[in-house]
Amino acid sequence: ETGVTQSPTHLIKTRGQQVTLRCSSQSGHNTVSWYQQALGQGPQFIFQYYREEENGRGNFPPRFSGLQFPNYSSELNVNALELDDSALYLCASWDRVDYGYTFGSGTRLTVV
Amino acid sequence: AQSVTQPDIHITVSEGASLELRCNYSYGATPYLFWYVQSPGQGLQLLLKYFSGDTLVQGIKGFEAEFKRSQSSFNLRKPSVHWSDAAEYFCAVVSPGYSSASKIIFGSGTRLSIRP
């Protein structure tokens, strides 16, 4: 399987709820990163996983958490949603052969 | 602090005209350099990348970029733009030398509009 797949593509949640976003990356891509992109902004680094362990985190509160699984899939969980969490969430995996990050199409989260 | 600067927020060029999008970076050592393109509501597509060697790199869709170490720049160019090039363009850096790869640091982006 090639490429990075994210699900769902769109999601509407209510403030205070919890959400789980999913990402499936290519076999062998054992580094996955998550980014938040607010409207009109560049992507901001949330955190990164390497071989199922978090090995880097951006300036995001602990209610943003993640998991990476042995099958190269990963999750981004956000608790206690706030209106400002509305954004496009991007997943990217690192190809250590081709030396580059491949991005998924993203999940558009709207918090109302 | 590591940073990427794209000084032009919005650029409009006529179809068929040449294009140059500017990118400057601040980093301890020469990082890996990338340009990505994003159409509205879509993910990021890699246009080209630079790790070492020839400072002029060719990418997809007719784009090229030139790395200038003395200016800490990695400007994106295209000789003749097409209406389909209208999109948001992001310059990005990744710290070199990690097998697991470091995070990507993005610039704030340049929105390209094409005048018919």
- Residues in chain A, overall count: 112
Inter-chain touch B104–A106, beta carbons under 8 Å: no
**d(Cα B34, Cα A46) in Å, to the nearest integer?**
19
CB–CB of B37/B78 below 8 Å? no
Name the minimum distance, in Å, from the CA of A92 to any CA of chain B.
9
| Closest partner CB to A48 (pick from B46, B103, B107) | B103
Beta-carbon pairs below 8 A across chains A and B: 62
| Closest partner CB to B43 (pick from A42, A50, A106) | A106
pLDDT per residue, tens digit, chain B (116 aa), is 788 999 999 999 999 999 999 999 998 777 889 999 999 878 899 999 998 888 999 999 999 999 999 999 999 999 999 999 999 999 999 876 555 567 888 999 999 999 98
**d(Cα B116, Cα A105) in Å, to the nearest integer?**
28
Please say whether the dihedral angle defined by the alpha carbons of residues B10, A6, B25 and A100, taken in this order, is positive or negative: negative
Q: Which residues of A touch B107 (CB under 8 A)?
A: 42
Task: Render pLDDT for A27-83 as a digit per residue (tens, 0 to 9).
Answer: 777 889 999 999 888 899 999 998 899 988 999 999 999 999 998 899 999 999 999
C-alpha separations of B85 from A90, B7, B88, B101, B113 in Å: 22, 19, 9, 29, 8
